[in-house]
Amino acid sequence: MTPPPASNALTTTQYPGRAMLAMATGAFAIGTGEFVIMGLLPEVAADIGVSIPQAGHVISAYAMGVVIGAPVLAVAAAAWGRRTLMMALLLAFAMGNFASATAPGYLSLSVLRFVTGMPHGTYFGVAALVTAALAPPGQRARAVGLVMTGLTVATLLGVPLAAWLGQHFGWRSAFVLVGAIALLAVFLIHRHVPEIAAPANASPLGELSALRNKQVWLTLGIAAIGFGGLFAVFSYVKPTMIEAAGLPLGGVPVMLALFGLGMVVGNVLGSRLADRHLMRTVGGMLVWSIVVLLAYSFTAHHVVAGAINLFLIGTTVAICPALQIRLMDVAGEAQVMAAALNHSAFNVANALGAWLGGAAISAGMGWTSTGWVGALLAVAGLAIFGWAYAESKKHPAPGKPGPVPIA
């Protein structure tokens, strides 16, 4: 896409930090909504009358909503003003969470979580592009990481808070909290993020051009498969630590908070590393994922060792800013589509990890088998990374892109 005039891209607001904070609040709401059910699976399963692995399919339903919603909404809203689009997406997300709190059973909850997930990827995609365009030269990944901090802080503060709320007042109250946070983010974006028009040449066909790019697909494959191990473990962290390690129920929020702290640390370090060595960061984090996920199969039998390992697994989120910037670099004119598809890919990882982890448990392999599943997914992601790296050497990009357009 053709970048808007510089005056529109870089001087649209007197206080860009406030705009980033507003967008990070939206990320916080979405992150809390995405992960909170993982800490409440036993309560949800008991209330709607299904097994815990079946309740895990509700996680997959949300993830598939992200997968389908991101490209569909990116194409449909290609010409929308960026603030208006982010507000509309968050409003739909809020309404979906309020509706989820009223779901009477398994089928209705699954459908509502699917619908609620649809705005997720497009919101993050647009927010990442706006933020990257406001960043100083050489600091795009750090800027994207700043907004993504809302997502990682959600795992540190939002998810444990919502899990505590759900344990004491019912799991439905957790979704009400998420909806309220999303409405707050709508207000903050309206107040602090300027209305930025889409580029004049923005079109659905232009966005669909991303689907013809091999490097886009390979980068998405790294995220969709290589990052699935985190979700294979985290989707079942509560029953695993209770059953395998004997963790008291009251210790679950502490475990969730440690995992969230690991994500915050990983996001900060990963964004800085990606600005220095993009591809090395991607490959290195996949190797790190294999190590810490494999270790979980052994450490999850012990409360302290398992807690430390969960923190380390959280740090694997460091790969996310690097993959986001990689997609911006290879997407050409299809910036919104590529940025949104990144979150589709991460939610394919969510669905795939939750499904394979649940399948391993249901097959009688034990709660800690999710660590083996996760490590194998990371190995597969590393293989795709090797393919992408080899292809990039054979067919190098024509040149480093300029400032990422706000689009």
Structure-model confidence comparison of residues 52 and 246, the more confident one: 246
Give 126's contacts (C-beta < 8 A, 6+ positions apart): 82, 85, 86, 89, 336, 339, 340
pLDDT band at 52 (very low <50, low <70, confident <90, very high): confident
- Spatial separation of the C-alpha atoms in residues 109 and 99, rounded to whole Å: 9
pLDDT tens-digit map of 127-167? 887 887 676 666 777 777 778 778 778 877 887 788 788 88
Structure-model confidence comparison of residues 216 and 378, the more confident one: 378
DSSP state of 256: H
Give 343's contacts (C-beta < 8 A, 6+ positions apart): 66, 70, 120, 121, 122, 124, 125
- Spatial separation of the C-alpha atoms in residues 395 and 389, rounded to whole Å: 10
- Spatial separation of the C-alpha atoms in residues 160 and 232, rounded to whole Å: 19
The pLDDT value given to residue 235: 85
- Spatial separation of the C-alpha atoms in residues 255 and 307, rounded to whole Å: 6
- Spatial separation of the C-alpha atoms in residues 27 and 22, rounded to whole Å: 9
pLDDT tens-digit map of 242-286? 999 999 888 887 888 888 889 889 988 988 888 888 899 999 999
Tokens 């299904």 found at: 50
What is the residue-averaged pLDDT of the chain?
Answer: 83
183-187 long-range contacts (CB < 8 A, ≥24 apart) are: 183/90, 183/91, 183/94, 184/25, 184/29, 185/22, 185/25, 185/26, 185/28, 185/29, 185/90, 186/26, 186/87, 186/90, 186/91, 186/94
Helix (H, G, I), strand (E, B) or coil at 348: helix
The pLDDT value given to residue 4: 37
Nearest CA to 195 among 54, 84, 104, 269?
84
Helix (H, G, I), strand (E, B) or coil at 109: helix
- Spatial separation of the C-alpha atoms in residues 329 and 396, rounded to whole Å: 12
User: Contact 210/364 with Cβ under 8 angstroms?
Assistant: no
pLDDT for 207 beyond 60: yes
Query: Mean pLDDT over residues 83-112, rounded?
Result: 93
CATH topology of domain 12-394: Growth Hormone; Chain: A; (1.20.1250)
Q: Where are the domains of the chain?
A: 12-394
- Spatial separation of the C-alpha atoms in residues 312 and 289, rounded to whole Å: 9
pLDDT for 224 beyond 70: yes
- 332 — alpha (psi -120 to 50), left (phi > 0) or beta? left
Burial state string for 125-138 with b = 16 or more CB within 10 A and e = fewer than 16: bbbbbbbbbbbeee
Give 397's contacts (C-beta < 8 A, 6+ positions apart): 215, 329, 330
- Spatial separation of the C-alpha atoms in residues 268 and 13, rounded to whole Å: 25
